Structure 1
Amino acid sequence: MLVMPVTRIQLDEADDTGAFYYVSFKRIPKEKGWLRFLEEDGKISAFKMLQALREIIKQEVKNIKDAEVTVARKKVGCPAITLQIKNPPSEISVDIILTLEAQQSWPLSTQGGLKIEQWLGTKVRRNMRFRSIYLVAKQNKSEKVLRGNTWRLSFSHIEKDMIKNHGNSKTCCESDGPKCCRKGCLKLLKYLLEQLKMKYPKELEKFCSYHVKTAFFHSCITWPNDSDWYLGDLDHCFQQCLGFFVDCLQKSQLTHFFIPQYNLLSLEDKARHHFLSRKICHELNNGFPVFHENY
Protein backbone atom coordinates (compact mmCIF):
# COMPACT_ATOMS: atom_id res chain seq x y z
CA MET A 1 0.00 0.00 0.00
CA LEU A 2 1.20 3.48 -0.85
CA VAL A 3 -0.52 5.45 1.90
CA MET A 4 -1.37 9.14 1.45
CA PRO A 5 -2.53 10.79 4.71
CA VAL A 6 -5.49 13.15 4.29
CA THR A 7 -7.22 15.33 6.86
CA ARG A 8 -10.75 16.71 7.21
CA ILE A 9 -12.36 14.77 4.41
CA GLN A 10 -16.01 14.25 3.70
CA LEU A 11 -17.32 10.87 2.55
CA ASP A 12 -20.46 10.64 0.41
CA GLU A 13 -21.82 7.19 -0.42
CA ALA A 14 -21.54 6.40 -4.11
CA ASP A 15 -24.04 3.50 -4.03
CA ASP A 16 -26.04 1.34 -1.62
CA THR A 17 -23.22 -1.11 -0.77
CA GLY A 18 -21.77 1.16 1.95
CA ALA A 19 -18.29 0.38 0.55
CA PHE A 20 -17.82 2.97 -2.22
CA TYR A 21 -17.48 6.69 -1.56
CA TYR A 22 -16.82 10.04 -3.15
CA VAL A 23 -14.13 11.81 -1.16
CA SER A 24 -13.77 15.57 -0.88
CA PHE A 25 -11.96 17.98 1.45
CA LYS A 26 -14.06 19.92 3.95
CA ARG A 27 -11.67 22.84 3.43
CA ILE A 28 -9.33 23.68 0.55
CA PRO A 29 -6.08 21.85 1.46
CA LYS A 30 -2.99 23.92 2.29
CA GLU A 31 -0.84 21.67 0.08
CA LYS A 32 -1.55 23.11 -3.36
CA GLY A 33 -0.38 19.85 -5.00
CA TRP A 34 -3.80 18.37 -4.19
CA LEU A 35 -5.62 20.87 -6.43
CA ARG A 36 -4.61 19.10 -9.65
CA PHE A 37 -6.40 15.95 -8.45
CA LEU A 38 -9.72 17.60 -7.68
CA GLU A 39 -12.73 17.49 -9.97
CA GLU A 40 -14.77 20.63 -10.67
CA ASP A 41 -17.19 19.65 -7.88
CA GLY A 42 -14.29 19.25 -5.40
CA LYS A 43 -14.19 15.44 -5.37
CA ILE A 44 -10.75 13.80 -5.20
CA SER A 45 -10.29 11.94 -8.48
CA ALA A 46 -8.97 8.42 -7.99
CA PHE A 47 -8.39 8.22 -11.76
CA LYS A 48 -6.18 11.34 -11.88
CA MET A 49 -4.15 10.22 -8.86
CA LEU A 50 -3.63 6.71 -10.25
CA GLN A 51 -2.61 8.13 -13.61
CA ALA A 52 -0.01 10.43 -11.99
CA LEU A 53 1.32 7.60 -9.80
CA ARG A 54 1.61 5.26 -12.79
CA GLU A 55 3.68 7.87 -14.67
CA ILE A 56 6.01 8.39 -11.67
CA ILE A 57 6.50 4.62 -11.31
CA LYS A 58 7.17 4.20 -15.05
CA GLN A 59 9.90 6.85 -14.85
CA GLU A 60 11.46 5.37 -11.70
CA VAL A 61 11.48 1.84 -13.11
CA LYS A 62 13.80 3.04 -15.90
CA ASN A 63 16.45 3.79 -13.25
CA ILE A 64 16.53 0.19 -11.93
CA LYS A 65 19.65 -1.47 -13.34
CA ASP A 66 20.12 -4.69 -11.33
CA ALA A 67 16.78 -6.31 -12.27
CA GLU A 68 14.40 -6.38 -15.21
CA VAL A 69 11.33 -4.51 -13.95
CA THR A 70 8.31 -3.63 -16.04
CA VAL A 71 4.95 -2.04 -15.26
CA ALA A 72 2.12 -4.42 -16.20
CA ARG A 73 -0.68 -3.24 -18.46
CA LYS A 74 -3.54 -1.52 -16.70
CA LYS A 75 -6.45 -3.82 -15.79
CA VAL A 76 -9.92 -2.26 -15.99
CA GLY A 77 -11.33 -1.62 -12.52
CA CYS A 78 -8.21 -2.86 -10.73
CA PRO A 79 -6.85 -0.51 -8.03
CA ALA A 80 -3.31 -1.92 -8.22
CA ILE A 81 -0.32 -0.86 -10.30
CA THR A 82 1.57 -4.10 -10.85
CA LEU A 83 5.34 -4.36 -11.21
CA GLN A 84 6.71 -7.51 -12.83
CA ILE A 85 10.21 -8.31 -11.66
CA LYS A 86 12.20 -10.77 -13.76
CA ASN A 87 15.30 -11.86 -11.96
CA PRO A 88 16.43 -15.49 -11.88
CA PRO A 89 15.65 -17.91 -10.32
CA SER A 90 12.01 -16.77 -10.32
CA GLU A 91 9.65 -14.06 -11.50
CA ILE A 92 7.51 -12.14 -9.03
CA SER A 93 4.87 -9.46 -9.29
CA VAL A 94 4.30 -6.66 -6.78
CA ASP A 95 1.04 -4.74 -6.50
CA ILE A 96 1.24 -1.09 -5.47
CA ILE A 97 -2.11 0.13 -4.20
CA LEU A 98 -2.82 3.85 -3.83
CA THR A 99 -4.55 4.41 -0.49
CA LEU A 100 -5.92 7.42 1.35
CA GLU A 101 -5.61 7.29 5.15
CA ALA A 102 -7.89 9.42 7.32
CA GLN A 103 -7.91 9.52 11.11
CA GLN A 104 -11.64 9.83 11.62
CA SER A 105 -14.64 7.70 12.57
CA TRP A 106 -15.52 4.72 10.44
CA PRO A 107 -18.63 5.29 8.25
CA LEU A 108 -22.09 4.27 9.52
CA SER A 109 -22.20 1.33 7.10
CA THR A 110 -19.55 -0.45 9.20
CA GLN A 111 -21.43 -0.21 12.49
CA GLY A 112 -22.86 -3.74 12.52
CA GLY A 113 -19.76 -5.39 11.05
CA LEU A 114 -16.59 -6.87 12.58
CA LYS A 115 -18.59 -9.14 14.90
CA ILE A 116 -15.52 -10.47 16.71
CA GLU A 117 -16.71 -10.05 20.32
CA GLN A 118 -16.94 -13.81 20.98
CA TRP A 119 -13.74 -14.54 19.07
CA LEU A 120 -11.22 -11.77 19.86
CA GLY A 121 -13.17 -9.78 22.44
CA THR A 122 -15.12 -6.53 22.81
CA LYS A 123 -12.04 -4.51 23.76
CA VAL A 124 -10.11 -5.62 20.66
CA ARG A 125 -13.08 -4.68 18.45
CA ARG A 126 -13.34 -1.24 20.06
CA ASN A 127 -9.61 -0.60 19.60
CA MET A 128 -9.74 -1.67 15.96
CA ARG A 129 -12.63 0.70 15.26
CA PHE A 130 -10.57 3.59 16.66
CA ARG A 131 -7.93 3.06 13.97
CA SER A 132 -7.68 5.10 10.76
CA ILE A 133 -9.90 4.42 7.78
CA TYR A 134 -8.27 3.40 4.51
CA LEU A 135 -9.73 4.11 1.08
CA VAL A 136 -8.32 2.56 -2.10
CA ALA A 137 -8.70 3.99 -5.59
CA LYS A 138 -11.35 1.64 -6.97
CA GLN A 139 -13.86 2.19 -9.75
CA ASN A 140 -17.47 1.63 -8.75
CA LYS A 141 -18.90 -0.36 -11.66
CA SER A 142 -22.51 0.49 -10.83
CA GLU A 143 -21.93 4.17 -11.67
CA LYS A 144 -23.96 5.17 -14.73
CA VAL A 145 -21.12 7.38 -15.95
CA LEU A 146 -17.70 5.87 -15.19
CA ARG A 147 -15.71 8.92 -14.12
CA GLY A 148 -13.11 7.11 -12.02
CA ASN A 149 -13.52 9.25 -8.92
CA THR A 150 -14.80 6.66 -6.45
CA TRP A 151 -12.89 5.17 -3.52
CA ARG A 152 -13.56 1.90 -1.72
CA LEU A 153 -13.12 1.28 1.99
CA SER A 154 -10.22 -1.07 2.74
CA PHE A 155 -9.65 -2.98 5.97
CA SER A 156 -6.49 -4.84 4.99
CA HIS A 157 -4.59 -3.39 7.98
CA ILE A 158 -7.26 -4.77 10.35
CA GLU A 159 -7.37 -8.11 8.50
CA LYS A 160 -3.60 -8.53 8.88
CA ASP A 161 -3.94 -7.92 12.61
CA MET A 162 -6.72 -10.48 12.94
CA ILE A 163 -4.69 -13.12 11.10
CA LYS A 164 -1.57 -12.33 13.14
CA ASN A 165 -3.33 -12.20 16.54
CA HIS A 166 -5.92 -14.82 15.72
CA GLY A 167 -6.36 -16.64 19.03
CA ASN A 168 -9.34 -16.62 21.33
CA SER A 169 -6.69 -16.94 24.08
CA LYS A 170 -3.68 -14.63 24.03
CA THR A 171 -1.15 -17.51 23.97
CA CYS A 172 -2.48 -19.23 20.81
CA CYS A 173 0.44 -20.16 18.50
CA GLU A 174 3.01 -18.41 20.75
CA SER A 175 6.26 -20.33 21.33
CA ASP A 176 5.03 -21.79 24.62
CA GLY A 177 1.31 -21.81 23.77
CA PRO A 178 -0.97 -24.32 22.02
CA LYS A 179 -0.88 -24.30 18.22
CA CYS A 180 -3.96 -23.93 16.02
CA CYS A 181 -4.66 -24.51 12.31
CA ARG A 182 -6.40 -21.20 11.42
CA LYS A 183 -3.54 -19.91 9.22
CA GLY A 184 -3.20 -23.33 7.59
CA CYS A 185 -6.91 -23.30 6.72
CA LEU A 186 -6.68 -19.86 5.13
CA LYS A 187 -3.63 -20.90 3.05
CA LEU A 188 -5.44 -24.03 1.83
CA LEU A 189 -8.60 -22.08 0.95
CA LYS A 190 -6.57 -19.58 -1.09
CA TYR A 191 -4.56 -22.34 -2.75
CA LEU A 192 -7.67 -24.32 -3.71
CA LEU A 193 -9.31 -21.28 -5.34
CA GLU A 194 -6.01 -20.43 -7.09
CA GLN A 195 -5.76 -23.97 -8.55
CA LEU A 196 -9.41 -23.99 -9.66
CA LYS A 197 -9.00 -20.55 -11.28
CA MET A 198 -6.03 -21.90 -13.25
CA LYS A 199 -8.14 -24.84 -14.40
CA TYR A 200 -11.27 -22.78 -15.21
CA PRO A 201 -9.97 -19.22 -15.86
CA LYS A 202 -13.00 -18.01 -17.83
CA GLU A 203 -15.71 -19.38 -15.52
CA LEU A 204 -13.98 -18.26 -12.32
CA GLU A 205 -12.50 -14.92 -13.42
CA LYS A 206 -14.74 -12.92 -11.08
CA PHE A 207 -13.58 -14.77 -7.95
CA CYS A 208 -10.56 -13.64 -5.96
CA SER A 209 -8.79 -14.58 -2.74
CA TYR A 210 -10.83 -11.93 -0.89
CA HIS A 211 -13.92 -14.13 -1.25
CA VAL A 212 -12.32 -17.06 0.58
CA LYS A 213 -10.64 -14.75 3.10
CA THR A 214 -14.05 -13.28 3.98
CA ALA A 215 -15.54 -16.79 4.32
CA PHE A 216 -12.59 -17.67 6.56
CA PHE A 217 -13.23 -14.70 8.88
CA HIS A 218 -16.91 -15.64 9.11
CA SER A 219 -15.80 -19.18 10.01
CA CYS A 220 -13.60 -17.75 12.77
CA ILE A 221 -16.59 -16.12 14.42
CA THR A 222 -18.83 -19.15 13.81
CA TRP A 223 -16.25 -21.29 15.66
CA PRO A 224 -14.63 -18.72 17.98
CA ASN A 225 -12.70 -20.96 20.40
CA ASP A 226 -9.12 -22.13 19.97
CA SER A 227 -10.34 -25.64 20.83
CA ASP A 228 -12.34 -25.54 17.55
CA TRP A 229 -9.07 -25.21 15.60
CA TYR A 230 -6.62 -27.76 17.04
CA LEU A 231 -3.55 -28.10 14.81
CA GLY A 232 -4.18 -31.83 14.37
CA ASP A 233 -7.71 -31.10 13.08
CA LEU A 234 -6.55 -29.19 9.99
CA ASP A 235 -8.32 -31.55 7.59
CA HIS A 236 -11.64 -31.31 9.47
CA CYS A 237 -11.39 -27.50 9.95
CA PHE A 238 -10.50 -26.90 6.30
CA GLN A 239 -13.53 -28.92 5.18
CA GLN A 240 -15.70 -27.03 7.67
CA CYS A 241 -14.57 -23.66 6.22
CA LEU A 242 -15.16 -24.98 2.71
CA GLY A 243 -18.65 -26.12 3.71
CA PHE A 244 -19.40 -22.60 4.93
CA PHE A 245 -18.11 -21.10 1.65
CA VAL A 246 -20.09 -23.57 -0.48
CA ASP A 247 -23.23 -22.64 1.46
CA CYS A 248 -22.58 -18.96 0.66
CA LEU A 249 -22.08 -19.78 -3.03
CA GLN A 250 -25.31 -21.76 -3.22
CA LYS A 251 -27.25 -18.87 -1.67
CA SER A 252 -25.28 -16.22 -3.64
CA GLN A 253 -24.81 -14.42 -0.31
CA LEU A 254 -21.39 -13.65 1.19
CA THR A 255 -21.64 -10.73 3.58
CA HIS A 256 -18.68 -8.34 3.69
CA PHE A 257 -17.03 -8.89 7.08
CA PHE A 258 -16.93 -5.17 7.93
CA ILE A 259 -19.94 -3.86 5.96
CA PRO A 260 -23.02 -6.04 6.63
CA GLN A 261 -25.19 -4.49 3.90
CA TYR A 262 -22.61 -5.34 1.20
CA ASN A 263 -23.00 -8.74 -0.50
CA LEU A 264 -19.73 -9.75 -2.20
CA LEU A 265 -21.57 -12.22 -4.46
CA SER A 266 -23.56 -10.33 -7.07
CA LEU A 267 -26.94 -11.94 -7.72
CA GLU A 268 -26.48 -11.61 -11.48
CA ASP A 269 -23.55 -14.08 -11.25
CA LYS A 270 -25.56 -16.95 -9.75
CA ALA A 271 -24.50 -19.36 -12.51
CA ARG A 272 -20.83 -18.71 -11.70
CA HIS A 273 -21.44 -19.21 -7.97
CA HIS A 274 -23.13 -22.56 -8.63
CA PHE A 275 -20.33 -23.59 -10.99
CA LEU A 276 -17.69 -22.95 -8.30
CA SER A 277 -19.76 -24.67 -5.60
CA ARG A 278 -20.05 -27.79 -7.83
CA LYS A 279 -16.30 -27.81 -8.46
CA ILE A 280 -15.51 -27.45 -4.74
CA CYS A 281 -17.95 -30.25 -3.86
CA HIS A 282 -16.27 -32.47 -6.47
CA GLU A 283 -12.88 -31.74 -4.86
CA LEU A 284 -14.26 -32.42 -1.36
CA ASN A 285 -15.76 -35.75 -2.39
CA ASN A 286 -12.71 -36.99 -4.33
CA GLY A 287 -9.77 -36.13 -2.07
CA PHE A 288 -8.87 -32.82 -3.79
CA PRO A 289 -7.46 -34.11 -7.13
CA VAL A 290 -6.76 -30.51 -8.22
CA PHE A 291 -3.95 -30.35 -5.62
CA HIS A 292 -2.09 -33.04 -7.58
CA GLU A 293 -2.59 -31.74 -11.11
CA ASN A 294 -0.07 -29.69 -13.07
CA TYR A 295 -1.00 -26.98 -15.55
Structure 2
Amino acid sequence: MTNSKTTLSKLLAESNFSQECKELLSYLPKDRSFFAEYLYQYQGFWYPPNLLEGVLYSQKHFQARDSDIILVSSPKSGTTWLKALVFASVYRQEFQTPLESHPLLDNNPHSLVPFIEAFNFHTQDTFPRIFSTHIPLGSLPESIKKSSCKVVYCCRNPKDAFVSLWHFMKDLVLKEMVGCTMEQMVKGFCRGSSVYGPFWDHALEYWKESLENPKKVFFVKYEDMREKPEDWVMRIAEFLGYSFTEREIENGVLEDIIKLCSLENLSKLEVNKVGKLMNGMETKAFFRKGEIRGWKDTLTPLLAEEIDKTTEQKLIGSAFRFFC
Protein backbone atom coordinates (compact mmCIF):
# COMPACT_ATOMS: atom_id res chain seq x y z
CA MET A 1 0.00 0.00 0.00
CA THR A 2 1.48 3.34 -1.02
CA ASN A 3 1.78 6.34 1.26
CA SER A 4 -0.78 8.26 -0.83
CA LYS A 5 -3.37 5.51 -0.38
CA THR A 6 -2.68 5.33 3.32
CA THR A 7 -3.02 9.10 3.66
CA LEU A 8 -6.27 9.35 1.72
CA SER A 9 -7.80 6.42 3.57
CA LYS A 10 -6.83 8.08 6.85
CA LEU A 11 -8.36 11.37 5.70
CA LEU A 12 -11.63 9.60 4.92
CA ALA A 13 -11.73 7.59 8.14
CA GLU A 14 -14.43 8.24 10.73
CA SER A 15 -12.39 9.27 13.77
CA ASN A 16 -11.32 12.21 15.90
CA PHE A 17 -14.37 14.32 15.11
CA SER A 18 -15.84 17.13 17.15
CA GLN A 19 -18.83 16.32 19.33
CA GLU A 20 -21.00 18.45 17.05
CA CYS A 21 -19.99 16.40 14.02
CA LYS A 22 -20.45 13.08 15.82
CA GLU A 23 -23.95 14.04 16.89
CA LEU A 24 -24.80 15.20 13.37
CA LEU A 25 -23.51 11.97 11.83
CA SER A 26 -25.73 9.96 14.15
CA TYR A 27 -28.93 11.14 12.51
CA LEU A 28 -28.02 12.33 9.00
CA PRO A 29 -29.11 10.19 6.02
CA LYS A 30 -26.21 8.00 4.89
CA ASP A 31 -25.35 5.85 1.90
CA ARG A 32 -22.72 3.21 1.26
CA SER A 33 -19.73 4.67 -0.52
CA PHE A 34 -16.49 3.85 -2.29
CA PHE A 35 -14.87 7.01 -0.94
CA ALA A 36 -15.37 6.14 2.73
CA GLU A 37 -17.54 3.56 4.45
CA TYR A 38 -20.45 5.98 4.22
CA LEU A 39 -21.36 9.31 2.71
CA TYR A 40 -23.67 11.54 4.74
CA GLN A 41 -26.27 13.93 3.34
CA TYR A 42 -26.05 17.42 4.77
CA GLN A 43 -28.06 20.36 3.42
CA GLY A 44 -28.87 18.34 0.31
CA PHE A 45 -25.34 17.19 -0.61
CA TRP A 46 -23.19 14.17 0.21
CA TYR A 47 -19.89 14.08 2.12
CA PRO A 48 -17.51 11.61 3.71
CA PRO A 49 -17.24 12.38 7.43
CA ASN A 50 -13.92 14.22 7.31
CA LEU A 51 -15.13 16.64 4.65
CA LEU A 52 -18.40 17.20 6.46
CA GLU A 53 -16.39 18.20 9.52
CA GLY A 54 -14.47 20.65 7.33
CA VAL A 55 -17.70 22.14 6.00
CA LEU A 56 -19.05 22.58 9.53
CA TYR A 57 -15.80 24.16 10.69
CA SER A 58 -15.70 26.61 7.78
CA GLN A 59 -19.35 27.57 8.31
CA LYS A 60 -18.56 28.43 11.91
CA HIS A 61 -15.10 29.99 11.63
CA PHE A 62 -14.36 31.29 8.12
CA GLN A 63 -14.59 35.07 7.99
CA ALA A 64 -14.59 36.39 4.45
CA ARG A 65 -13.22 39.81 3.56
CA ASP A 66 -14.65 41.94 0.79
CA SER A 67 -11.34 41.61 -1.09
CA ASP A 68 -11.29 37.79 -0.94
CA ILE A 69 -11.44 35.61 -4.04
CA ILE A 70 -13.20 32.23 -3.76
CA LEU A 71 -12.63 29.60 -6.46
CA VAL A 72 -15.32 26.91 -6.60
CA SER A 73 -15.83 23.67 -8.52
CA SER A 74 -17.05 20.13 -8.12
CA PRO A 75 -14.19 17.68 -7.56
CA LYS A 76 -12.09 16.94 -10.65
CA SER A 77 -13.56 19.80 -12.66
CA GLY A 78 -10.47 21.89 -13.37
CA THR A 79 -9.76 22.98 -9.80
CA THR A 80 -5.97 22.69 -9.93
CA TRP A 81 -5.68 24.54 -13.24
CA LEU A 82 -8.08 27.30 -12.16
CA LYS A 83 -6.07 27.87 -8.97
CA ALA A 84 -2.85 28.24 -10.94
CA LEU A 85 -4.33 30.63 -13.51
CA VAL A 86 -6.01 32.90 -10.97
CA PHE A 87 -3.01 32.93 -8.63
CA ALA A 88 -0.63 33.84 -11.47
CA SER A 89 -3.00 36.47 -12.88
CA VAL A 90 -3.83 38.23 -9.61
CA TYR A 91 -0.25 38.27 -8.31
CA ARG A 92 1.44 38.99 -11.65
CA GLN A 93 2.85 42.32 -10.43
CA GLU A 94 4.70 40.57 -7.61
CA PHE A 95 6.13 37.92 -9.94
CA GLN A 96 6.82 39.67 -13.23
CA THR A 97 8.94 36.92 -14.80
CA PRO A 98 6.59 33.95 -14.37
CA LEU A 99 8.60 31.46 -16.42
CA GLU A 100 11.81 32.08 -14.48
CA SER A 101 11.07 32.70 -10.79
CA HIS A 102 7.48 32.02 -9.88
CA PRO A 103 6.00 30.30 -6.79
CA LEU A 104 4.15 27.87 -9.07
CA LEU A 105 7.51 26.44 -10.15
CA ASP A 106 8.17 25.22 -6.61
CA ASN A 107 4.69 24.90 -5.12
CA ASN A 108 1.65 22.87 -6.09
CA PRO A 109 -1.39 25.13 -6.76
CA HIS A 110 -3.21 23.51 -3.82
CA SER A 111 -0.45 24.70 -1.49
CA LEU A 112 -0.79 28.29 -2.71
CA VAL A 113 -4.60 28.40 -2.75
CA PRO A 114 -5.97 26.44 0.25
CA PHE A 115 -9.39 24.86 0.57
CA ILE A 116 -11.52 26.59 3.19
CA GLU A 117 -12.87 23.21 4.35
CA ALA A 118 -9.32 21.94 4.96
CA PHE A 119 -8.95 23.83 8.27
CA ASN A 120 -5.85 25.78 7.12
CA PHE A 121 -7.43 29.00 5.86
CA HIS A 122 -6.13 30.84 8.94
CA THR A 123 -2.60 30.81 7.48
CA GLN A 124 -3.49 32.78 4.35
CA ASP A 125 -2.06 36.29 4.75
CA THR A 126 -1.63 37.48 1.15
CA PHE A 127 -3.60 40.33 -0.39
CA PRO A 128 -5.97 39.65 -1.86
CA ARG A 129 -6.55 36.32 -0.19
CA ILE A 130 -7.42 33.53 -2.62
CA PHE A 131 -9.23 30.43 -1.39
CA SER A 132 -10.90 27.48 -3.02
CA THR A 133 -13.75 25.17 -2.08
CA HIS A 134 -16.02 22.41 -3.35
CA ILE A 135 -18.80 23.48 -0.97
CA PRO A 136 -22.25 23.90 -2.61
CA LEU A 137 -23.69 27.40 -2.83
CA GLY A 138 -26.28 26.97 -0.09
CA SER A 139 -23.73 25.60 2.38
CA LEU A 140 -21.11 28.33 1.97
CA PRO A 141 -20.14 30.18 5.14
CA GLU A 142 -22.50 33.09 5.74
CA SER A 143 -19.57 35.52 5.64
CA ILE A 144 -18.98 34.64 1.99
CA LYS A 145 -22.63 35.19 1.12
CA LYS A 146 -22.83 38.51 2.96
CA SER A 147 -19.49 40.01 1.91
CA SER A 148 -18.54 41.56 -1.42
CA CYS A 149 -15.92 38.89 -2.12
CA LYS A 150 -15.84 37.48 -5.65
CA VAL A 151 -16.66 33.86 -6.54
CA VAL A 152 -15.43 32.08 -9.68
CA TYR A 153 -17.10 28.76 -10.47
CA CYS A 154 -15.60 26.27 -12.94
CA CYS A 155 -17.94 23.65 -14.40
CA ARG A 156 -17.01 20.52 -16.38
CA ASN A 157 -18.87 17.97 -18.48
CA PRO A 158 -20.19 15.36 -16.00
CA LYS A 159 -18.77 12.40 -17.94
CA ASP A 160 -15.25 13.83 -17.97
CA ALA A 161 -15.56 14.87 -14.32
CA PHE A 162 -16.71 11.38 -13.39
CA VAL A 163 -13.90 9.67 -15.29
CA SER A 164 -11.31 11.97 -13.75
CA LEU A 165 -12.75 11.20 -10.30
CA TRP A 166 -12.78 7.48 -11.10
CA HIS A 167 -9.09 7.42 -11.97
CA PHE A 168 -8.24 9.61 -8.98
CA MET A 169 -10.06 7.34 -6.55
CA LYS A 170 -8.97 4.16 -8.31
CA ASP A 171 -5.31 5.06 -7.91
CA LEU A 172 -5.60 6.26 -4.32
CA VAL A 173 -8.42 4.33 -2.68
CA LEU A 174 -10.36 1.78 -4.71
CA LYS A 175 -7.51 -0.73 -4.93
CA GLU A 176 -8.05 -1.22 -1.21
CA MET A 177 -11.78 -1.86 -1.60
CA VAL A 178 -12.92 -5.27 -2.74
CA GLY A 179 -15.81 -5.54 -5.17
CA CYS A 180 -15.92 -1.97 -6.44
CA THR A 181 -16.76 -1.65 -10.12
CA MET A 182 -17.12 1.33 -12.41
CA GLU A 183 -20.74 0.33 -12.97
CA GLN A 184 -21.45 0.64 -9.26
CA MET A 185 -19.68 3.97 -9.04
CA VAL A 186 -21.66 5.33 -12.02
CA LYS A 187 -24.90 4.33 -10.32
CA GLY A 188 -23.85 6.14 -7.15
CA PHE A 189 -22.76 9.20 -9.14
CA CYS A 190 -26.07 9.31 -11.02
CA ARG A 191 -28.20 9.06 -7.90
CA GLY A 192 -26.16 11.92 -6.44
CA SER A 193 -24.29 9.85 -3.89
CA SER A 194 -20.83 11.15 -4.68
CA VAL A 195 -18.44 13.50 -2.88
CA TYR A 196 -20.10 16.95 -2.88
CA GLY A 197 -22.83 15.48 -5.10
CA PRO A 198 -25.31 15.62 -6.70
CA PHE A 199 -22.95 16.93 -9.37
CA TRP A 200 -25.72 18.55 -11.44
CA ASP A 201 -27.35 20.37 -8.53
CA HIS A 202 -23.95 21.75 -7.53
CA ALA A 203 -23.37 23.32 -10.95
CA LEU A 204 -26.94 24.53 -11.48
CA GLU A 205 -27.04 26.41 -8.18
CA TYR A 206 -23.92 28.41 -9.02
CA TRP A 207 -25.01 28.95 -12.63
CA LYS A 208 -28.34 30.42 -11.50
CA GLU A 209 -26.56 32.60 -8.95
CA SER A 210 -24.21 33.88 -11.65
CA LEU A 211 -27.24 35.04 -13.64
CA GLU A 212 -28.97 36.64 -10.65
CA ASN A 213 -25.84 38.15 -9.12
CA PRO A 214 -23.27 38.57 -11.93
CA LYS A 215 -21.12 40.99 -9.93
CA LYS A 216 -20.67 38.33 -7.26
CA VAL A 217 -20.40 35.04 -9.17
CA PHE A 218 -18.59 34.34 -12.44
CA PHE A 219 -19.41 31.02 -14.12
CA VAL A 220 -17.03 29.41 -16.62
CA LYS A 221 -16.95 26.05 -18.36
CA TYR A 222 -13.69 24.12 -18.19
CA GLU A 223 -13.94 23.17 -21.85
CA ASP A 224 -14.29 26.79 -22.97
CA MET A 225 -11.18 27.67 -20.99
CA ARG A 226 -9.24 24.81 -22.59
CA GLU A 227 -10.22 25.95 -26.09
CA LYS A 228 -9.63 29.68 -25.56
CA PRO A 229 -7.58 30.14 -22.37
CA GLU A 230 -6.42 33.69 -23.20
CA ASP A 231 -9.98 34.95 -23.66
CA TRP A 232 -11.30 33.42 -20.46
CA VAL A 233 -8.32 34.32 -18.28
CA MET A 234 -8.77 37.95 -19.38
CA ARG A 235 -12.49 37.79 -18.58
CA ILE A 236 -11.88 36.26 -15.16
CA ALA A 237 -9.17 38.83 -14.38
CA GLU A 238 -11.53 41.65 -15.38
CA PHE A 239 -14.30 40.23 -13.19
CA LEU A 240 -11.91 40.08 -10.24
CA GLY A 241 -10.73 43.65 -10.78
CA TYR A 242 -7.29 42.74 -12.12
CA SER A 243 -7.73 43.39 -15.84
CA PHE A 244 -4.78 42.91 -18.17
CA THR A 245 -3.65 46.11 -19.87
CA GLU A 246 -2.97 46.33 -23.59
CA ARG A 247 0.70 46.85 -22.79
CA GLU A 248 0.81 43.68 -20.68
CA ILE A 249 -0.75 41.72 -23.51
CA GLU A 250 1.67 43.20 -26.05
CA ASN A 251 4.59 42.36 -23.75
CA GLY A 252 3.49 38.74 -23.53
CA VAL A 253 2.49 38.75 -19.83
CA LEU A 254 -0.80 36.96 -20.51
CA GLU A 255 0.88 34.50 -22.85
CA ASP A 256 3.54 33.72 -20.25
CA ILE A 257 0.88 33.04 -17.61
CA ILE A 258 -1.01 30.69 -19.93
CA LYS A 259 2.22 28.78 -20.66
CA LEU A 260 3.27 28.64 -17.03
CA CYS A 261 -0.11 27.37 -15.88
CA SER A 262 -0.77 24.91 -18.68
CA LEU A 263 -1.50 21.42 -17.41
CA GLU A 264 1.27 20.16 -19.68
CA ASN A 265 3.82 22.44 -18.01
CA LEU A 266 2.58 22.02 -14.43
CA SER A 267 2.58 18.23 -14.64
CA LYS A 268 6.25 18.21 -15.69
CA LEU A 269 7.45 20.27 -12.73
CA GLU A 270 9.39 18.39 -10.09
CA VAL A 271 7.09 19.59 -7.31
CA ASN A 272 4.13 18.02 -9.11
CA LYS A 273 5.89 14.76 -9.88
CA VAL A 274 7.42 13.82 -6.53
CA GLY A 275 6.07 16.45 -4.12
CA LYS A 276 3.52 16.10 -1.33
CA LEU A 277 0.93 18.40 0.20
CA MET A 278 0.85 19.21 3.90
CA ASN A 279 -1.59 16.35 4.47
CA GLY A 280 0.85 13.92 2.86
CA MET A 281 -1.06 13.40 -0.40
CA GLU A 282 1.17 13.10 -3.45
CA THR A 283 0.91 16.08 -5.81
CA LYS A 284 1.08 13.89 -8.92
CA ALA A 285 -2.40 12.62 -8.05
CA PHE A 286 -3.87 15.92 -9.24
CA PHE A 287 -2.53 15.66 -12.79
CA ARG A 288 -3.81 13.33 -15.44
CA LYS A 289 -4.79 14.25 -19.02
CA GLY A 290 -7.34 17.02 -18.55
CA GLU A 291 -8.71 16.27 -21.99
CA ILE A 292 -12.04 17.33 -23.43
CA ARG A 293 -14.17 14.22 -24.10
CA GLY A 294 -11.49 12.05 -22.54
CA TRP A 295 -14.31 9.97 -21.07
CA LYS A 296 -14.54 8.08 -24.37
CA ASP A 297 -11.42 6.12 -23.46
CA THR A 298 -12.92 4.90 -20.18
CA LEU A 299 -16.72 4.78 -20.22
CA THR A 300 -18.62 2.11 -22.10
CA PRO A 301 -21.47 3.36 -24.31
CA LEU A 302 -24.01 2.05 -21.79
CA LEU A 303 -22.41 3.86 -18.86
CA ALA A 304 -22.07 7.07 -20.88
CA GLU A 305 -25.75 6.79 -21.77
CA GLU A 306 -26.65 6.35 -18.10
CA ILE A 307 -24.89 9.60 -17.19
CA ASP A 308 -26.42 11.35 -20.21
CA LYS A 309 -29.92 10.30 -19.17
CA THR A 310 -29.36 11.63 -15.66
CA THR A 311 -28.02 14.87 -17.10
CA GLU A 312 -31.08 15.26 -19.32
CA GLN A 313 -33.42 14.67 -16.37
CA LYS A 314 -31.53 17.11 -14.13
CA LEU A 315 -31.66 19.88 -16.73
CA ILE A 316 -35.39 19.70 -17.40
CA GLY A 317 -36.78 23.22 -17.11
CA SER A 318 -33.34 24.80 -17.25
CA ALA A 319 -31.69 26.69 -20.10
CA PHE A 320 -28.26 25.51 -18.93
CA ARG A 321 -26.35 22.95 -20.98
CA PHE A 322 -23.08 21.23 -20.20
CA PHE A 323 -20.36 21.19 -22.83
CA CYS A 324 -21.05 18.14 -25.02
Length-normalised TM-score, structure 1:
0.29
TM-score (normalizing by structure 2): 0.27
Q: Could you say which structure has the greater relative contact order, defined with CA pairs below 8 angstroms and 6 or more residues apart?
A: 2
Name the one with the larger strand percent: 1
Pick the structure with more helix per residue: 2
